[in-house]
Amino acid sequence: MSAKTLQDLLAEGVAGRHVLVRSDLNVPLDGDRVTDDGRVRASLPVISALAGAGARVIVMAHLGRPKGAPDPKYSIAPAAARLAELADAPVTVATDVVGTDAHTKAAALTDGQVLVLENVRFDPRETSKDDDERAAFAADLASLTGQDKGQNTGAYVDDAFGAVHRRHASVAEIAAVLPAYQGDLVKAEIDVLRRLTENPDRPYVVVLGGSKVSDKLAVIDSLLGKADVLLIGGGMVFTFLAARGAKVGASLLEQDQLDAVRGYLDRAERTGVRIVLPTDIVVAEKFDRDAAHEVVPADAMESSRFGSTGIGLDIGPESARAFAEEIVKARTVFWNGPAGVFEFDAFAGGTRAIASALAAATADGALTVVGGGDSAAAVRTLGFDDDAFSHISTGGGASLEYLEGKDLPGVTALER
């Protein structure tokens, strides 16, 4: 069964109706300042479309990982303020989730207005392991549409791809309480991921980085049957290098994953998938923006002047060029995880080279997908425009779980 879409809901008519929208406003903050508003901007089209059609829009979202209770440092207020700056419609913010303020402001909404609820994770039932508790919270959320007063005109739109892999009340259970529809952002994300998994144009290159190889084992297992080339960078590369016998100094190393990595290297060789590892590494004296550093061969990292205490913080320039050459030849590229500590300029070279190569591949007609999370933050931090790539995902974890072949509860809930 396919999900009903936002277009289906708009065709039914939304003027005068309360519509709950699960958006992804989980943005990085520096105090009260939003440092990357990409997810806010990605949420705008659906909110604007509903408000423009006369809906009374109630936005649900989370920010960070509060422990089921209000916590000022996780307030949705800065993200909501940025939404208000960008939106064409009037935006107000509730000081609670399903309390007195939320109900008062929801009831006072007029056609075309938007209300943002406080962080849904301030209510412990949102992430509860108990099905009944999550269902009760979903019912309380639905009551903001007047459902508990016999007003059965409310609706729910899931537009938070970054949360669809979570079995949370505002993502899954709510779809059983109100008529449910798939937002345009979720639809676009799923459509792109299907292109990556069902019949990708080849060569198909996957770039994986980030800190821990344990976070990527399942997706590596899946992609070994689909991709032509896997380029490995970031902190996870040191477990791969160690699996091939290299000493990696004080670099991030997951000893308990060495056998699994050796198995993937052997399997890749048997099946004709090329796993490309860096040939040089930028090794630093310590983890610091201004740390002394030098480039050394990847198989001789402890030959640096820092010896066994040196820490690898980026792939080297030779590796960056080699990775770029693989990417620009590809017709399909998926990238998840930076090649190094891109937040420090001295260790951003590998990530910058990968982003530049993806942009060049895009210009040449390839499908290029930046897989959310730190990768999305990296391309914006390094000054690349979003339209330099075919698609920048809003959900790194959700993208990976889809590629792993896992069920995404938020997607499944819409297909009932």
Going by the annotation, the residues of the binding site for (2R)-3-phosphoglycerate are: 39, 121, 166
For the annotated binding site for ATP, the residues are 216, 312, 343, 372-375
3-state secondary structure the chain: CCCCEHHHHHHHCCCCCEEEEECCCCCCEECCEECCCHHHHHHHHHHHHHHHCCCEEEEECCCCCCCCCCCHHHCCHHHHHHHHHHCCCCEEECCCCCCHHHHHHHHHCCCCCEEECCCHHHCCCCCCCCHHHHHHHHHHHHHHHCHHHCCCCCEEEECCHHHCCCCCCCCCHHHHCCCEEECHHHHHHHHHHHHHHCCCCCCEEEEECCCCHHHCHHHHHHHCCCCCEEEECCCCHHHHHHHCCCCCCCCCCCHHHHHHHHHHHHHHHHHCCEEECCCEEEEECCCCCCCCEEEEEHHHHHHCCCHHHCEEEEECHHHHHHHHHHHHCCCEEEEECCCCCCCCHHHCHHHHHHHHHHHHHHHCCCEEEECCHHHHHHHHHCCCCHHHCCEECCCHHHHHHHHHCCCCHHHHHCCC
Are the CB atoms for 214 and 337 separated by under 8 Å? Answer: no
Structure token pair of residue 320:
């960056």
For the annotated binding site, the residues are 24-26, 39, 62-65, 121, 166, 216, 312, 343, 372-375
Task: Find residue 367's DSSP bridge partners.
Answer: 332
Q: CA 391 → CA 74, 94, 210, 395, distances in Å?
A: 28, 32, 19, 12
For the annotated binding site for substrate, the residues are 24-26, 39, 62-65, 121, 166
Catalytic residues: 39, 212, 373, 397
Return all residues near 228 (Cβ < 8 A) that are at least 6 apart.
202, 203, 204, 205, 273, 274
